[in-house]
A and B are shown apart, each in its own frame.
Chain A
Amino acid sequence: MKTQIGFVALLAGLSTGAIAQNFNDPAEFERQKALLTVAPQGPDGKPWEQNLGGEKVDTAKYKKPGPYKLCFSNAGVNNPWRVVGFTNMQAEVDANKADIASFTHADAEGKDDKQISDINAFVNSSQCDALIVSPNTTAALTPAVEAAAKKLPVVVFDRGVDSKAPVTFINPIGGYGFGIQGASFIAEKIPAGGSVLALRILPGVDVLENRWAAAERIFKEKGIKVVGAEFTNGDNAKTKAIVEDYINRFGKIDGVWMDAGATAVAALEAFEDAGKPYPVINGEDQQDFLQKWKKNKLTAIAPTYPTYQWRTPVIAAIRILKGEPVVGPTWKLPQPAITAENLDKFVNDKMPPLHYALCGCEQMTNYPARWGGK
Chain B
Amino acid sequence: MSATAAHTAPSAALRFVRGINVGVAIFLVLYGTIAVLQPSYFEVEGFLNFLRRAAPLIILACGQLFVIAGGGFDLSMGSLVTLTVLGGSMLAGGNPENTWWTIGVLYLIGLGVGLVNGLVVTLLKVPSIIATLGMLLSLNGAALMWSGGAPRGYLPENFRALGRLVYREVPVTGIMPLSVIILIGFVALAAWLLHATVFGRQVLAVGDNPRAAELAGVPVGATRVLVFVISALSAVTAGILLGGFAGVSTAVGQGLELQAIAACVIGGAQLLGGRASVTGAVAGSLSLFALFTLLNLMGLPQPLRETVQGLILIAAVASSAWRMRRA
- Chain A contacts to B: CB under 8 angstroms: 1, 4-5, 8-9, 11-12, 15-16, 77-80, 82-84, 202-203, 228, 230-231, 233-237, 239-242, 244-245, 248-249, 262-263, 265-266, 269, 273, 288, 352-355, 372
Contacts and interface: CB of A to CB of B under 8 A. Distances in A.
Interface in B285-327: 293, 296-297, 299, 301-304, 307-308, 311
A213 B53 CA distance: 31
Nearest to A247: B40
Nearest to B43: A248
Given A353-B153, A353-B248, 18 more contacts: A4-B311, A8-B304, A12-B303, A16-B301, A79-B150, A83-B148, A83-B149, A230-B296, A236-B246, A237-B245, A237-B246, A240-B245, A249-B40, A263-B249, A269-B164, A288-B154, A352-B153, A354-B151
Contacts of B152: 352-353, 372
- Best-buried of A77, A80, A262 by chain B (most CB within 10 Å): A80
9 contacts: A234-B249, A235-B249, A237-B252, A263-B249, A266-B246, A273-B166, A352-B151, A352-B153, A353-B151
Contacts, number: 100
Interface in B24-72: 38, 40, 46, 49, 53, 56
B304 A12 contact: yes
B95 interface: no
B297 A80 contact: no
Contacts of A235: 246, 249, 251-252, 254
B301 A239 contact: no
Contacts of B56: 237
Contacts of B119: none
Interface in B247-284: 247-252, 254
A108 B298 CA distance: 37
Given A231-B302, A352-B152, A372-B150, A248 B40 contact: yes
Contacts of A233: 251
Pairs A-B, 3 closest by C-beta atoms? A80-B150, A236-B246, A237-B246
A236 B296 contact: no
Contact of A228 (B164, B247, B252, B299): B299
Contacts of B154: 288, 353
B316 to A, nearest CB: 14
A234 B254 CA distance: 11
Contacts of A8: 303-304, 307
Interface in B212-266: 242, 245-252, 254
A352 B150 contact: yes
Interface of B: 38, 40, 46, 49, 53, 56, 148-154, 164, 166, 242, 245-252, 254, 293, 296-297, 299, 301-304, 307-308, 311
Contacts of B38: 245, 248-249
Contacts of B149: 77-80, 82-83
- A-side interface mostly: helix
Nearest to A4: B311
A365 to B, nearest CB: 18
B249 A11 contact: no
Contacts of B53: 237, 241, 244
Contacts of A5: 304, 307-308
Contacts of B247: 236, 265-266, 269, 288
A4 B314 CA distance: 14
Nearest to B154: A353
Given A80-B250, A248-B40, A353-B154, A241 B304 contact: no
B304 A240 contact: no
Given A16-B301, A77-B149, A84-B150, A245 B251 contact: no
A273 B164 contact: yes
A163 B246 CA distance: 42
B25 to A, nearest CB: 19
A84 B150 CA distance: 8
A9 B293 CA distance: 20
B303 A240 contact: no
Contact of B46 (A15, A228, A248, A372): A248
Contacts of A242: 296
Contacts of A240: 245-246
A372 B311 CA distance: 45
A244 B150 CA distance: 26
B304 A372 contact: no
B94 to A, nearest CB: 9
